[in-house]
């Protein structure tokens, strides 16, 4: 079992113990352990082998033994017993946004509600509103939350789907009969959430059955839902569905294009083939649109496409990158030769908006900066929380000054390597749009990331004014996660994004793509317009641990979906240029 799964189980144990009314310190210990394990930078196997688990803050002998048991056997007797002592539906109820173990315990103890269905019924009959500490408003919120849970179930975060797909695509690639293979579907297009994973393979027809058989038995596969001669559907560990299709190598380019989608992009391509060539296009190739079209029939059989590039060329189009295939103007741009030259991961030179142990991160500033340096970056921006974020140990003015000293010392060391730490803050935008620090304190930072963390319930008009007021503040450099959505968990707050974007453009402010797979905010659909107005983007991992820095890759995928080029992304600038930009923004 890997560290992510172990962290997930500790998280569940924490919730189960909380539901049981266990000692709060014990509960907290599991939540903390989940965070620590998830953020581990060293290989878990090595730590276990060298008996160094207990060196980790918050991991004692007992937790170390549990981690070892999970890692080596994939099971934990304590967890299984705990789980079977509680109704299964209780844990499912916790997926409702804003409905944590404390509330679940109350409805369970008082009303014997132990499933989402029973909770829904209790809300509808007004029993929840009548409970102490609930009321009409919470009851309504719970009902809305249940709708969300149902709507989201069956979709998955990008990073989870990506991680589940990697070992399988590698196994397929090394399979003897496989000629070419690829991930297709929404995962290849880098959508923010993934329904199912699509794998495509080309092979000789005689090899297809063996490939399908071996696929169905791969280690990451939990169960087989359907199996035929050229396709199979399975459920992967973690509950993600996956499809495999096997085609001949002649069909591969067509099938890859078809199964990559999107459906709307396919429809538009097909219409073009019909109009331009009188050919119909499907997952196997071009064919005459009707039997009467003799000349087209000859043409159809003569159009062989080895690659997707060939296919687009046959339709008189430039190659369209998978991230752009959403029928949002890419076909027109491919026809006119105006497709963007999309930003790439290797273009990134640095990052902003990361956390450390000064607020709610699990590594020191030095360790985080060193990790960024090791990734080949030239700069690292630390932006810990501001004082109003008490839960996250936000920094007050005094600690800001202390952290500034620390960063200064570290920079004296890093400067020799041509690397720099930028000293920033993730500063709360208060309810009225003012900032959490006064101008004097804000002047201590190299840059300011402004963020809404509280008071989500105001109406769109008020929220828009609140954010736009912050954007107009001369000390603000960039806006963090503009809607604060948590994908598959909660919707963002109501806000007029076109107005926020226009305001950012007016005051020359940067907007972030928060690359955390739960956020991916600002949404890719809005970037094409923002870029046209001249708004620059910062791709920020919002890293709370060293592995979180890898989110940068997801952020780049989303930037690509938003048509962004290297010149649109501020952290593609080399250190010297970024220093100039930040200095200029600081002085206004
Ligand atoms: P997902 O799985 O919901 O995240 O999204 P996709 O895009 O991966 O959708 P999926 O797995 O249902 O199908 C994969 C691709 O196959 C899809 O992007 C386009 C193609 N496809 C599926 N059904 C249709 C269809 O009815 N018409 C067309 N033109 N293409 C389809
Ligand atoms: Ca899919
Ligand atoms: Ca599919």
Q: What is the pLDDT of residues 88-141, one digit of tens each?
A: 888 889 888 888 899 999 999 999 999 998 999 999 999 999 999 999 999 999
Q: Which of 151, 158, 186, 233 to mutate to test the pocket of ligand 1 (most atoms within 8 A of CB)?
A: 186
Instruction: Specify the pLDDT at position 151.
Output: 72
Longest CA–CA span in the chain (Å) reads 82
269 lines ligand 1 (CB under 6 A): no
pLDDT in the model for residue 4: 86
pLDDT tier at 540, thresholds 50, 70, 90:
very high
Q: Which ligand is nearest to the CA of 191?
A: 1
Q: How many Cβ atoms sit within 10 Å of the Cβ of residue 261? A: 21
* CB within 8 Å of 56: residues ≥ 6 apart: 36, 40, 47
| Global pTM value | 0.85
Instruction: Quote the ligand 2 centre to 526 CA distance (angstroms).
Output: 23
Strands 478-479, 156-157: pairing is: unpaired
CA of 491 to the centre of ligand 2 (A): 22
Strands 196-202 and 180-184, how do they pair? antiparallel
Q: Which atom of ligand 1 is nearest to the CA of 186?
A: 8
Nearest CA to ligand 1 atom 31: 263
Q: Going by CA atoms, what residue is nearest to atom 27 of ligand 1?
A: 263
Q: Which residues fall within 8 angstroms of residue 561, CB to CB, at 6 or more apart?
A: 189, 190, 191, 323, 324, 326, 524, 527
Instruction: Select from 261, 262, 326, 331 the residue to mutate for testing ligand 1; criterion: most ligand atoms less than 8 Å from CB.
Output: 261
For residues 542 and 514, the answer to whether their CB atoms sit within 8 Å is: yes
Q: Is 435 helix (H, G, I), strand (E, B) or coil?
A: strand
Joined together, the tokens standing for residue 265 give 């992009």
Query: Counting ligands in written order, which one lies closest to the CA of residue 231?
Result: 3
For residue 296, name the pLDDT band (cuts at 50, 70, 90).
low
CA 126 – CA 115 distance, rounded (Å):
17
The reported pLDDT for the residue numbered 298 is 60
CB of 196 within 6 A of ligand 1: the answer is yes
User: What rounded mean pLDDT belongs to the chain?
Assistant: 94
Please check whether residue 473 is in contact with residue 506, taking contact to mean a CB–CB distance below 8 angstroms. Answer: no
Q: Which CATH superfamily is domain 345-587 in?
A: Metal-dependent hydrolases (3.20.20.140)
> Does residue 185 line the site of ligand 1, with CB under 6 A?
yes
Whole-number pLDDT of residue 364: 97
Q: What percent of the chain has pLDDT over 90?
A: 83
pLDDT digits (tens, 9 = 90+) for 35-92: 999 888 888 999 999 999 999 888 999 999 999 999 999 899 999 999 999 888 888 8
The average pLDDT across 555-567 equals: 98
For residue 259, the CA-to-ligand 3 centroid distance in Å is 8
- Spelled out in words, what is the top-level CATH class assigned to the domain 255-336? alpha beta
Q: For a ligand 1 pocket test, name from 266, 269, 273, 488 the mutation site with the most ligand atoms within 8 angstroms of its C-beta.
A: 266
Ligand 3 centroid, distance to 111 Cα (angstroms): 41
Q: Residue 147: which pLDDT band, with cuts at 50, 70 and 90? A: confident
Q: Report, as an integer, the average pLDDT of 253-261.
A: 97
Write the pLDDT tens digit of every residue in 194-210. 999 999 999 999 999 99
165 CA → ligand 2 middle, Å: 12
Q: Which atom of ligand 1 is nearest to the CA of 258?
A: 20
Residue with CA closest to ligand 1 atom 5: 186
Mean pLDDT is lowest, of 179-193, 278-292, 559-573, for 278-292
**Domain with residues 3-152, CATH architecture:** Orthogonal Bundle (1.10)
Instruction: Assign domain 156-249 to its CATH superfamily.
Output: Beta Polymerase, domain 2 (3.30.460.10)
Burial profile 366-379: b = 16 or more Cβ within 10 angstroms, e = fewer: bbbbbbbbeeebbb
Q: Is the pLDDT reported for residue 392 higher than 60?
A: yes
Query: Quick one: what percent of the chain has pLDDT higher than 70?
Result: 97
Predicted confidence at residue 293, as pLDDT, reads 59
Mutating to test ligand 1, I would choose from 241, 263, 280 the residue with most ligand atoms within 8 A of its C-beta, which is: 263
DSSP state of 55: G
HSE-up (13 A, CA, CB side) for residue 545: 12
The DSSP element (H or E) to which 464 belongs, if any, is: helix 460-472
Q: Is 266 in the pocket of ligand 1 (CB under 6 A)?
A: yes
Residue nearest to atom 8 of ligand 1 (CA): 185
Check residue 95 and give its pLDDT.
83
State whether the beta carbon of 261 lies less than 6 angstroms from ligand 1. yes
Q: Are 226 and 188 contacting, i.e. CB atoms less than 8 angstroms apart?
A: no
Closest Cα to atom 24 of ligand 1: 263
H/E stretch holding 221? strand 221-227
**Residue pLDDT, tens place only, 301-353:** 668 999 999 999 999 999 999 999 999 999 999 999 999 999 999 999 999 99
pLDDT at 294: 57
128-136 long-range CB contacts below 8 Å, 24 or more apart?
131/106, 131/107, 132/106, 133/106, 134/103, 134/106
Sign of CA dihedral 526, 264, 146, 236: negative
Whole-number Å distance, alpha carbon 194 to ligand 2 midpoint, is 7
Task: Please tell me whether residue 162 adopts helix, strand or coil conformation.
Answer: helix
76: Cα within 13 Å, side-chain hemisphere:
23
Tokens 């900066």 belong to 369
Domain boundaries, given as residue ranges, for the chain: 3-152, 156-249, 255-336, 345-587
Q: What is the pLDDT of residue 302?
A: 66
Q: Ligand 1: distance of its center to the CA of 397 in Å? A: 52
**Which numbered atom of ligand 1 lies nearest the CA of 270?**
29
Determine whether 151 is exposed, middle or buried from the number of CB atoms within 10 Å of its CB (0-12, 13-18, 19+).
exposed
- How many angstroms does the Cα of residue 216 sit away from the middle of ligand 3? 16
Report whether residue 198 contacts ligand 1, using a CB cutoff of 6 Å.
yes
Least confident of 7-16, 150-159, 172-181: 150-159
DSSP of 61-105: HHHHHHHHHHHHHS--HHHHHHHHTS-HHHHHHTTSTT--HHHHH
pLDDT at 297 > cutoff 60: no
Ligand 1 neighbourhood includes 282 CB (under 6 angstroms): no
Confidence tier at 220 by pLDDT (50, 70, 90): confident
pLDDT tens sequence across 514-531: 999 999 999 999 999 999
């Amino acid at each position: 079992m890997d560290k992510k799964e172990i962290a997930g189980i500790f998280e569940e144990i924490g919730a189960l113990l909380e539901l049981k009314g266990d000692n709060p310190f014990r509960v907290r210990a599991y939540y903390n352990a989940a965070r620590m394990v998830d953020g581990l930078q060293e290989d878990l196997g090595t730590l276990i082998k060298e008996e160094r688990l207990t060196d980790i803050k918050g991991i004692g002998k007992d937790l170390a033994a549990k981690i070892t048991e999970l890692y080596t056997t994939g099971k934990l007797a304590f967890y299984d017993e705990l789980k079977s002592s509680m109704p299964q539906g209780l844990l499912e109820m916790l997926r409702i946004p804003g409905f944590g173990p404390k509330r679940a315990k109350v409805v369970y103890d008082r009303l014997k509600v132990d499933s989402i269905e029973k909770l829904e019924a209790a809300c509808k009959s007004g029993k929840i509103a009548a409970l102490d500490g609930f009321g009409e408003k919470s009851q309504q919120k719970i009902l809305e939350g249940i709708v969300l849970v149902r709507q989201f179930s069956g979709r998955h975060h990008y990073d989870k789907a990506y991680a589940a797909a990697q070992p399988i695509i590698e196994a397929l690639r090394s399979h003897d009969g496989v000629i070419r293979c690829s991930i297709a579907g929404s995962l290849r297009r880098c959508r923010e959430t993934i329904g199912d994973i699509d794998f495509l393979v080309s092979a000789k027809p005689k090899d297809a059955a063996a490939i399908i058989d071996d696929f169905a038995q791969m280690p990451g596969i939990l169960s087989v839902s359907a199996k035929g001669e050229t396709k199979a559907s399975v459920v992967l560990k973690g509950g993600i569905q996956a499809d495999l299709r096997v085609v001949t190598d002649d069909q591969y380019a067509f099938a890859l294009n078809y199964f990559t989608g999107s459906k709307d992009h396919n429809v538009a391509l097909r219409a073009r083939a019909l109009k331009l060539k009188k050919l119909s296009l499907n997952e196997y190739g071009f064919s005459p649109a009707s039997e009467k079209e003799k000349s087209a029939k000859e043409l159809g059989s003569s159009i062989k496409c080895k690659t997707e590039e060939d296919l687009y060329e046959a339709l008189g189009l430039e190659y369209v990158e998978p991230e752009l295939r959403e029928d949002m103007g890419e076909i027109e741009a491919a026809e006119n030769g105006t497709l963007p030259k999309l930003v790439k991961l290797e273009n990134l030179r640095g990052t902003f908006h990361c956390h450390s142990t000064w607020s709610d991160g699990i590594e020191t500033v030095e360790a985080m900066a060193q990790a960024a340096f090791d990734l080949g970056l030239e700069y690292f921006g630390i932006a810990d929380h501001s004082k109003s974020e008490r839960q996250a140990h936000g920094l007050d003015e005094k600690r800001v000054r202390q952290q500034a000293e620390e960063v200064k010392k570290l920079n004296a060391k890093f400067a020799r390597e041509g690397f720099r730490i930028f000293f920033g803050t993730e500063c709360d935008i208060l309810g009225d749009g003012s900032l959490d620090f006064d101008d004097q304190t804000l002047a201590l930072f190299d840059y300011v990331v402004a963020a809404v963390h509280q008071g989500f319930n105001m109406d769109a008009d008020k929220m828009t004014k609140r954010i736009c007021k912050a954007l107009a503040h001369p000390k603000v450099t960039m806006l963090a996660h503009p809607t604060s959505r948590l994908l598959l968990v909660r919707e963002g707050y109501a806000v007029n994004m076109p107005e926020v974007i226009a305001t950012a453009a007016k005051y020359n402010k940067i907007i972030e793509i928060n690359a955390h797979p739960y956020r991916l905010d600002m949404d890719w659909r809005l970037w094409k317009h923002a870029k046209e107005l001249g708004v620059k983007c910062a791709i920020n991992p919002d890293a709370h641990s060293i592995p979180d820095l890898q989110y940068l890759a997801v952020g780049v995928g989303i930037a690509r979906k938003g048509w962004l080029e290297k010149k649109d992304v501020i952290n593609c600038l080399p250190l010297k240029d970024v220093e100039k930009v930040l200095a200029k923004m600081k002085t206004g």
